[in-house]
């Protein structure tokens, strides 16, 4: 089941992580990079190509999956959920361990909310046995804020924050290396950290531990344009939450994503890196102007049929050789009564109709 929406209304801003990563969350993973040479074709929209191949674009497609506190990753229920994810035609799953930070301005990052190394290793192995490619995508859950609020008050605190963050990532990177995960996301939506010089040493340390693809996921194209270290990574990662105008239709939904697409393709050409959409979800409002607050929680009136149609429209909009990975937020391992989970499975069924005829052969990373 999907949970495309992940944001809170401004009044509940401090608990965003619960809505985005919390109970019942599931990991998203989508494929990763293409060789730089393939980026010569980025100026051509895939819509102009073979319609059948467009349905199977991007090469790495799937969902984000976060551990459900009610469903152990080693359980039969979790395995059945992973099989159902695979049966949509997805070929990638992103496993999302949660890191804890007590406040945006404290450097106490730790793995106290995280799954164990054994659970992570087991789930990567299960994904591989099912023919899925696995991405390890750790994310910070800030108790009184969001990841983009993380900001230290002094260089000393920044050094401490990066030390603790590195310790958490290195442990996860070691598991990813041992289990041959296809990619490791080293940070998501950490906007106010991007200018810090500590990123250079952190990336170098992770390279020594993990030999696979390293990715950072910025907030949309605007955030991606501010990242100074793309040349040290293997893909340009982004999270995308276009506004979903429930009263609109495909034309308005395409328009909500058109600007992002244009800027991301330009960035792919500029950096020589493929695009990795670590999260495709949505926020919603009565009209496109509502995107001024991209963290507004969609009203329950947006039903699963509209959600599934919008996601299909956005996947078509993102069909381009430069966009190698798209992961949909998010896949849940158990039925839930709250939030925006498609309990009638219409969203999962829409993805199945789109992807079921696609080759299950692993795409080249």
pLDDT above 70 covers what percent of the chain? Answer: 75
Distance from C-alpha of 137 to C-alpha of 183, rounded to nearest angstrom: 8
- Residue 2 maps to a domain: no
CA angle (17 as vertex; 195, 219 as ends), nearest 5: 40
Closest CA to 168 of 128, 117, 109, 219: 109
Q: How far apart are CA 185 and CA 60, in angstroms?
A: 15
Q: 107: which DSSP letter?
A: -
Neighbours of 286 (CB within 10 A): 12
Query: Does residue 360 form part of some domain?
Result: no
Q: Is residue 329 part of a domain?
A: yes
Give SS3 for 289. helix
- pLDDT score for 347: 75
Has residue 306 got a pLDDT over 80? yes
Give a yes or no: residue 16 inside a domain: yes
Give residue 30's pLDDT band: very low, low, confident or very high (50, 70, 90).
Answer: very low
Residue 239 pLDDT > 80: yes
pLDDT in tens, 320-352: 999 999 999 888 765 543 333 333 467 778 888
H-type alpha helices, the chain: 16-21, 51-55, 76-87, 117-129, 155-178, 198-209, 220-224, 250-271, 304-317, 346-355
Q: Tell me which residue range forms the domain holding 71.
A: 10-355
Note whether residue 363 is domain-resident. Answer: no
Residue 53 in domain = yes
Based on DSSP, count helices (H) and strands (E) in the chain, helices before strands.
10, 12
Burial 312-347 (b: 16+ CB within 10 A, else e): bbbbbbbbbbbbbbbbbbbbbbbebeebbbbeeebb
pLDDT band, very low/low/confident/very high, at 282 (cuts 50, 70, 90): confident
pLDDT at 308 exceeding the cut of 60 = yes
| pLDDT average, residue stretch 116-139 | 95
Query: Which residue is associated with the tokens 């990795």?
Result: 276
Residue 362 in any domain: the answer is no
Least confident range from 174-188, 201-215, 273-287: namely 273-287
- Name the DSSP letter for residue 237: E
Domain assignment of residue 317, yes or no: yes
The CATH number of the domain where 319 resides is what?
A: 3.20.20.80
| pLDDT at residue 54, as a whole number | 72
pLDDT at residue 45, rounded to an integer:
36
pTM: 0.83
The domain total for the chain is: 1
With bands split at pLDDT 50, 70 and 90, how would you rate the model's confidence at 73?
confident
- Residue 236 near residue 273 (C-beta atoms within 8 A): yes
**170 has pLDDT over 80:** yes
- pLDDT at 263 (0 to 100): 97
In terms of pLDDT, which residue wins out, 221 or 361? 221
Mean pLDDT of 310-317: 90
């Amino acid at each position: 089941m999907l949970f495309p929406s992940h944001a809170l209304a401004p009044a509940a801003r401090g608990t965003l992580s619960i809505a985005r990563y919390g109970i019942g969350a599931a990991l998203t993973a989508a494929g990763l990079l293409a060789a730089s040479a393939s980026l010569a074709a980025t100026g051509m929209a895939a819509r102009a190509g073979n319609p059948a191949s467009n349905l199977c674009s991007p090469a790495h497609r799937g969902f984000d999956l976060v551990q459900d506190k009610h469903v152990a990753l080693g359980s039969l229920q979790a395995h059945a959920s992973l099989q159902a994810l695979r049966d949509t035609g997805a070929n990638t799953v992103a496993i999302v361990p949660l890191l804890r930070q007590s406040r945006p301005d404290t450097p106490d990052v730790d793995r106290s909310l995280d799954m164990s190394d054994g659970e992570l290793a087991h789930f990567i192995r299960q994904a591989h046995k099912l023919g899925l490619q696995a991405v390890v995508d750790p994310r910070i859950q800030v108790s009184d804020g969001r990841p983009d609020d993380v900001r230290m008050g002094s260089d000393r605190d920044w050094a401490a924050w990066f030390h603790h963050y590195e310790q958490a990532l290195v442990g996860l990177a070691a598991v990813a290396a041992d289990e041959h995960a296809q990619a490791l996301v080293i940070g998501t939506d950490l906007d106010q950290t991007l200018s810090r010089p500590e990123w250079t040493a952190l990336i170098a340390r992770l390279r020594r531990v993990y030999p696979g693809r390293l990715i950072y996921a910025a907030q949309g194209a605007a955030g991606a344009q501010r990242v100074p270290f793309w040349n040290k990574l293997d893909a340009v990662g982004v999270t995308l939450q276009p506004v979903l105008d429930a009263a609109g239709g495909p034309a308005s939904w395409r328009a909500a994503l058109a600007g992002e697409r244009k800027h991301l393709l330009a960035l792919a050409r500029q950096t020589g890196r493929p695009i990795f959409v670590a999260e495709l979800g949505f926020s919603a409002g009565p009209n496109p102007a509502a995107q001024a607050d991209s963290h507004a929680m969609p009203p329950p009136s947006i039903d699963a049929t509209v959600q599934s149609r919008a996601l299909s429209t956005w996947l078509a909009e993102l069909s381009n050789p430069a966009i190698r990975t798209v992961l949909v937020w998010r896949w849940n391992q158990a039925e839930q009564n709250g939030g925006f989970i498609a309990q009638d499975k219409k969203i999962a069924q829409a993805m199945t109709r789109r992807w079921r005829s696609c080759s299950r052969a692993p795409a080249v990373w």
